Structure 1
């Protein structure tokens, strides 16, 4: 085994002198051929060179080994063998020849004429050489820029041979040539890989990439640019950049580009992403976002322009802006509608429809309501521009069968033009043509969970598309309007029903009052007879005094005053009677409750005397007023007093006959009136039943007095309940709310 110096060799082992010129020609061919050789042909040229080397140097095999700088791996990359000698396939050789690879990677050659020349530390390598049949070998490391990149190995398998100095030197030169060839290949591969990667990036880029030379002519036009502008690259390359810019911008754009080429200074329009306009092959303009950069190649400027079509983005931005402004409009409308008194809806709703129509630029906005039976649409409110016709008051489903069916299913119907009406909607299209409606948006509106109304927007004269972002908001304001109007309608219906119920209640209450007065006729006659008898007696006494000339006139005057008082007493009885039996409209006003109680007590006082019942008044004396219909409240009191007197008609099992009437403020905003008797009482099972219509504990009762009384009290916002009197008898209590103080 020898070191890098050329080994001594016998003259008989040196190659013939005639081999040397051929070897020199080989070196010259390799040195020149590898320089401009395409990458794809370098591998074939290396294999051919190894073939020539094997023939010229009379060796059996020549291998080219490559080293991996990062991992230290060593692999045969190229090989050539003489016929009869097995060629080496590309494979790793680091494991089989570890000592050889370490020596080569340190920059030292491995040369032996016989295997015995290998040192002991190369035992593994010697075994591998024997296994492959190698007898002599010359392996030279290849270096590029001081870095070992591989080696060239020459081997003899059929006989041993020496390696003279001139062969050693030429092998070194050969290693340098192959090293340069491999470096050239690697550089070309990296260049081609980078170029391919760049081409792939440019071609696959989503943005358009256009390169322009110093004359402002296109030299690169990627696939995205082809799609964006509608030009093939073959037509675009060589064309001036102005070809893709609208006429009105070309002069100014040329000035900007020229300034950028000369100075490299960017402006607000060029050099940063800025919204501009570009021109497609069909002549249409579209918005773009552009950035530009400058490079110098071979002394010539090269401008790279990256373009992005922002048509969809700007359209989306416009839709979002419109949606936000529409959202603000709807918020203002909704707030106004919710704050508006019910009586103002007839004014506020059309104003809301007008605001929607003017904002969206439509000609007519109509709010319809499905009629009972869903066979037609009834006009609720509408707004129309100056040229739009007034909508009909009623639209039959027969005129719009296809449209009505879909709306009732809750489907939105949107048509940008007449041509979008389906064939099965021939009736709708015919009506639309007659009315001049080009575009239509009909949104079904749900009230209480079911489709009850429709908000319809129409455009005359020209078609238009409807933004999907606006439809949910249109539905929202439509349902707000529909629910408010439905709430208003139900409120009106409720008021009408309550008014009608109150009128019927008053009629029935009047009948009960008349019946009550009939039952009290004996007592009333007795009460009326007393002042009449007194008037008669006072009048006779006055007549006698007048006949006596000696009578003091003051005595006669006293008698006449008494006559007037009794007449007034009788008149009060008649007045109270007339008030109770007279029909009257419901009149709620502030009432002195204790004053009303005292009037009722006066009406039953005679009856109490006739029945030997003691009246016990326990009135607060400081009660606030209540808002009520005084006659109806007195009717309730009179009914309770009459029932109490009837309950004590039979001999009282609990002692004295006592009718107690009391008042108290039982809550900050509530007054309670209590009527208690010591009569026969009410069974616990009947305490609630006594308020049911036609239920009575009296053989002669109608059974509607307490039922009417409870409804009267509840209509005034109070309650009426019954309970047993702990001392015997029954207790009825009713409450009334205190009149609210007004500032």
Structure 2
């Protein structure tokens, strides 16, 4: 409205000037025409016209200047409004202080970063936004900057500082400063950016890089597990627990669930004692443990707060609850360990102090667990490769030894038949039978090797039918009655006639029982007993082959179903060491379970459990 009023006034002045010019011109013209002979007529007329033109120009110039000034003021006001708006909505904190270090401007970005409202900070000292240890240095920096010739520090010259929020929380920041002097008054404008998130990302990347370096130092499985458990301590956790199934693989295919637990080492003796107790407390398959839940689902679990109710709900026994309370975890993250699309373990990050885990911590834990899983899987594969090499060498030695016996037998008989064939038909028949037995021996060795390879490759074929149990047991036992009699071992059978039929491959099931019975007779002394019992246990058919032999020590029990493994004290008795491994593979292929129970001097019992109904595909 002020601009419009000024323009109106100028226009009115211009109209008035022109009107005056017209009046004067009229008067002069009248006088000129009434007295045409008057002296100086043309002079007067020139003065009148010139004066009018001058007045018109002056009026136009004044009007143009005033309108230009109005436009400049309007543009300046608009520019100031734009700047004010940008300052107000900027995400960075923009803070202006005067020469006394008092705040005169505190934008919305500053409110969001520091947690103070603008009306709370206007008039306050800037040091209120800095940790106390920086107050003196802050004043020196401002005074030195004020005294210098430099008017601004570019963004590239920023230096990292620390700010303090209204809550008292410190945070890393970058800041730049601008000095302005207007009408003799100096002000300073600080532009500050919260770099907490960026620092977190940088620290996390350094942490993961360091972890990667640690994880590549060894390929030994146990050493890798220990390194993985120690990785997050103390950067990400006060304690770490690593649970992997079996040897870190996806299990042995038997359906058994055995977690192997490794724990970190803490600087806190109390935590170490609690971890030592937990190290021998790996959860079982039916446990209510959160670890088992994560293993089964493959989904990470974030526990921001852990209370006693949670520990009670996830502890199977009072002893387990006591161990959990001894650790006194206050927050935790459980992350699955996964490699080649299979979950094989769980990595648990535990806080026993003030730290409370959040989504950002979980994201870092998942990245670390991914790298750890890769390292564990590599170590497992390295171990398997070494074991395979050793097994190959052992197998070649055993095969060459075991095949040499029947080959030698055939060679000897062939020489006898060639050099001095007996005339007695019975003697010739014995030699022919010896060749036949040696050939069968070789055939059995070769079939065992082929079956073992098929099981290892997952290609074992089954011809399943509804089969009566008694013929399976009788067939297996009949093959070893003569051997048992020769060794002086009593062979006992208990198999009711009314057992329900089993869904399976009868030839393969006979093979399983043959391997178990043969193994039992081999390791039973004279006058000992080998019993074969078949019965129904719940929804399963169960075979038990029990002997009264020397037994197997506890340290050897986990290895009895491994390929080429034999009881150390009986290795000289020959054999490829494949019988139990083949039996295990056949049982698993039927959807069943096989296990062993034994004590030195108390004999050994092998259990085979097969579902009576066909397992769902």
TM tier, shorter chain? 0.5 to 0.7
1:438 alignment counterpart: 330
1:493 and 1:278, CA in 2 relative to 1: closer, same or farther beyond 3 A? closer
- The counterpart of 1:387, out of the listed 273, 296, 299, is 273
2:493 alignment counterpart: none
Alpha carbons 1:505, 1:708 under 8 Å: kept: no
1:192 alignment counterpart: 77
1:286 and 1:169, CA in 2 relative to 1: closer, same or farther beyond 3 A? same
Alpha carbons 1:443, 1:475 under 8 Å: kept: no
2:223 alignment counterpart: 348
After superposition, give the CA deviation of every residue in 1:702-735 in whole Å (9 maximum; x if it has no partner).
Answer: 8664464467689999xxxxxxxxxxxxxxxxxx
Would you say 1:417 and 2:417 are equivalent positions?
no
1:497 Cα offset (Å)? 12
1:607 alignment counterpart: 420
1:474 Cα offset (Å)? 1.8
1:215 Cα offset (Å)? 2.2
1:327 Cα offset (Å)? 1.8
SS of 2:368's equivalent in the other structure is helix
For 2:67 and 2:116, how far apart are their aligned partners in 1? 42
Alpha carbons 2:229, 2:242 under 8 Å: kept: no
1:42 alignment counterpart: 3
1:185 Cα offset (Å)? 0.9
1:397 and 1:52, CA in 2 relative to 1: closer, same or farther beyond 3 A? farther
Would you say 1:229 and 2:229 are equivalent positions?
no
1:331 and 1:357, CA in 2 relative to 1: closer, same or farther beyond 3 A? same
1:475 alignment counterpart: 370
For 1:459 and 1:321, how far apart are their aligned partners in 2? 21
SS of 2:167's equivalent in the other structure is coil
Would you say 1:309 and 2:200 are equivalent positions?
no
SS of 2:85's equivalent in the other structure is helix
2:517 alignment counterpart: none
For residues 274-293 of structure 1, the aligned pairs below 5 Å read 274-293=159-178
Alpha carbons 2:274, 2:326 under 8 Å: kept: no
For 1:500 and 1:290, how far apart are their aligned partners in 2? 71
For 1:420 and 1:204, how far apart are their aligned partners in 2? 46
Alpha carbons 1:353, 1:365 under 8 Å: kept: no
1:328 alignment counterpart: 213
1:408 Cα offset (Å)? 1.3
More displaced 10-residue stretch of structure 1: 309-318 or 363-372 = 363-372
1:181 Cα offset (Å)? 0.9
For 1:189 and 1:267, how far apart are their aligned partners in 2? 29
1:441 and 1:243, CA in 2 relative to 1: closer, same or farther beyond 3 A? closer
For 2:192 and 2:53, how far apart are their aligned partners in 1? 61
1:165 Cα offset (Å)? 4.7
- Relative to its length, the structure with more helix (as a share) is 2
- The counterpart of 1:400, out of the listed 277, 288, 296, is 288
CA RMSD of aligned residues (A): 5.0
After superposition, give the CA deviation of every residue in 1:132-165 in whole Å (9 maximum; x if it has no partner).
Answer: xxxxxxxxxxxxxxxxxxxxxxxxxxxxxxx955
Alpha carbons 1:439, 1:459 under 8 Å: kept: yes
Alpha carbons 1:438, 1:459 under 8 Å: kept: yes
1:590 alignment counterpart: none
For 1:381 and 1:45, how far apart are their aligned partners in 2? 88
- The counterpart of 1:453, out of the listed 340, 345, 359, is 345
1:275 Cα offset (Å)? 0.8
Gaps of 5+ in 2: 27-47, 267-271, 451-617
Alpha carbons 1:286, 1:311 under 8 Å: kept: yes
Instruction: Flag the structure with larger Rg.
Output: 1
More displaced 10-residue stretch of structure 1: 250-259 or 278-287 = 278-287
1:26 alignment counterpart: none
1:656 alignment counterpart: none
2:238 alignment counterpart: 362
- The counterpart of 1:250, out of the listed 121, 135, 145, is 135
For 1:236 and 1:462, how far apart are their aligned partners in 2? 31
Alpha carbons 1:369, 1:454 under 8 Å: kept: no
Alpha carbons 2:238, 2:351 under 8 Å: kept: yes
1:148 alignment counterpart: none
For 2:413 and 2:401, how far apart are their aligned partners in 1? 19
Higher relative contact order (CA 8 A, sep 6+): 2
For 1:182 and 1:269, how far apart are their aligned partners in 2? 39
For 1:215 and 1:604, how far apart are their aligned partners in 2? 121
